[in-house]
Amino acid sequence: MTAPIRPDTTERGTMGMPRMIRRPWLTLGVFAVTATVNLIQLTVDPRLLRSLERTSAGLHSDWWRTFASLFVQDGGVLGTLSNLVFLLVLGAVAESVTSRPRWLLAYFGTGLIGELAGYSWQPTGGGNSVAVCGLAAVLAWALVRRPRSVPAIAAPATLVWCGVLFTTWYVPLVVLGAVPAAVTPRLIQARWGGLGFLVLGVCVATAVTLTAARNIHGAALLAGLLLAAALTWREKPGPVRGSRPLRA
């Protein structure tokens, strides 16, 4: 008796090729720590934000605030949920296309640069959104350099994130990220080779526009793009070492 043919459940990359991934343990770890601190801040001790957020004291005696402010949120419940969701999504995908040391450098390196910019443009505040910009930058470059090994969700998720960043300036501008994200499924289906350059271009435009508006997310995304370019310059196209096919 002929065995039934099993459907191909291997997930596909942006160009329709089998996707190689690995378990996002690093992303889950950073998410768990950040979410725990956020939960305590929102439900147990609201004063935690004031204790850890970025203030002018961070340039003097309280230097640790520059790092600690990445684990608290000043955007309320909605801002917290948005930052955590994108950390989980973009982080997991980024972990499948770059090494974990590079992931850490992109996330925390970009985050620290964003916080430093905040001392000039927004002296008081906190949140991991500036760090998430580093993950978006990693995906933007990965989509250009090796689209066949990048999960299909990378392009729309990165574009939506750019739209979310614009909401920190003017809420209706979320459409600037949402519209390109809406058309990416058709571009992926058509295997359009310019998709990566579209995503990278939107990221660059977002970074430059927000930086010109003295928005710390612009500085963070711009720094993330430069840092990600440097980190991935010598990476060879193809799946990351230690990755494997994910099956349902």
Does the pLDDT at position 30 exceed 70?
A: yes
Does the pLDDT at position 238 exceed 60?
A: no
Taking a C-beta distance cutoff of 8 angstroms, is the pair 10, 247 a contact? yes
Tally Cβ neighbours within 10 Å of residue 204.
Answer: 16
Does the pLDDT at position 108 exceed 90?
A: yes
CA–CA separation, 105 and 231 (whole Å) = 8
**CATH of 20-233 given 3.30.230.10, 3.30.1330.120, 3.40.50.1260, 1.20.1540.10:** 1.20.1540.10
Least confident of 164-168, 174-178, 186-190, 242-246: 242-246
Condensed to tens digits (0 to 9), the pLDDT of residues 33-85 reads 999 999 999 999 999 999 999 999 888 889 999 999 999 999 999 999 999 99
According to DSSP, the residues that pair with 18 across neighbouring strands are: 12
Tally Cβ neighbours within 10 Å of residue 4.
Answer: 6
Does the pLDDT at position 242 exceed 60?
A: no
- DSSP for residue 107: H
Condensed to tens digits (0 to 9), the pLDDT of residues 200-221 reads 999 999 999 999 999 999 999 9
Does the pLDDT at position 174 exceed 50?
A: yes
